[in-house]
Each structure stands twice: as C-alpha cells, then as structure tokens.
Amino acid sequence: MSIRDYESTSLTVHWDDEICSHSAHCAKTLPGVFRPGERPWIDVTGAPDDEIAATIDGCPSGALSYSRKDDEIPVGSGDQEPEDDVVVRVWGSGPYEVVGTVRILDNDGNLIREVTKASLCRCGLSKVKPFCDGSHKDGNFTDPGLFRTPRADQ
C-alpha cells in the first residue's frame, strides 16, 4: 500500500495510488484541490473541508479518504460504513465498480484488501490488478458493459 497524505490545519486527505483508477472524478469536481498536472497534486487549502469531503465520498475507486484533525480516523470513500449488500456496477469501456464490504483475495486465498469501495480491472491491462489504474483508456478497451439475458428460444 502506498498512501500519501496531504494536510491542512483541519483536514488530511489520504490518497492510495495503488488503487486509484484515475477516473478524474476528483479533478472534474474540485479542480482547485485535485490538480493532476501539478506537484503536489492535492491542495487541501483549495476549497472548504466539506466540499473536499463530499468530493472524496464520490471517489469511485476508494483511493481517496480523509480524516479531520479533531478525530484523525480516516473516513470517506474507501472507508465508508459497510453496506448490507454488495453492488457491482459494470462501467461501459471501464472497470467494475464494487460498493459494499468485500474481501479481495489472491489465488491462494490470501487477503489482498478488505474494502467498502473499489474499481476492479475489466480490460486486463492494469498494472495494479485486480484494481483498475485507468489503463483501459490508453489501451483502447471498448465494451459497452451491457448484459443481455438470452431469450428462452436461444
């Protein structure tokens, strides 16, 4: 796990680059805070804490989380309250988005991660499998992600 922290006086944003799917949700939502072409790429002073938290809560991969200085317990995105049900959404020409408490295991049954949100590779091109790293964009992976129920007469 490679987590980087970006701090202000009241908030710490945690970014796990190993599971980031590079969907750009954060940069599109709050470009004054999440600036992929700059270093550091996260400026925690670029917006109010609640706006940053709301953006992180929408992170599809769970790579972003945050903690407030008054509690220091990471919350948001990948650290959401567990869901009763696990939901898997197939993104057209993109990853599987998994929401709900899941344990991701390797071939031998060893725990890779336990998460409440993740983007999992569907194209086979990711360098951080089973997680999506956005390689499907450069690899020209296309698939509408539609499941069609076979007709009874087929």
Domains, the chain, ordered by start: 3-79 (3.30.70.20), 87-136 (no CATH)
- Of 58-62, 74-78, 130-134, the one with minimum mean pLDDT is 74-78
20/81 Cα distance (integer angstroms): 20
pLDDT tops 80 at residue 36: yes
Query: How many Cα atoms are found within 13 Å in the side-chain-facing hemisphere of 78?
Result: 23
**Does residue 150 carry a pLDDT above 90?**
no
* Structure confidence at residue 144 (pLDDT): 80
Mean pLDDT of 30-40: 96
Q: Where are the alpha helices (DSSP H) in 1-154?
A: 25-29, 49-57, 135-138
pTM for the complete prediction? 0.74
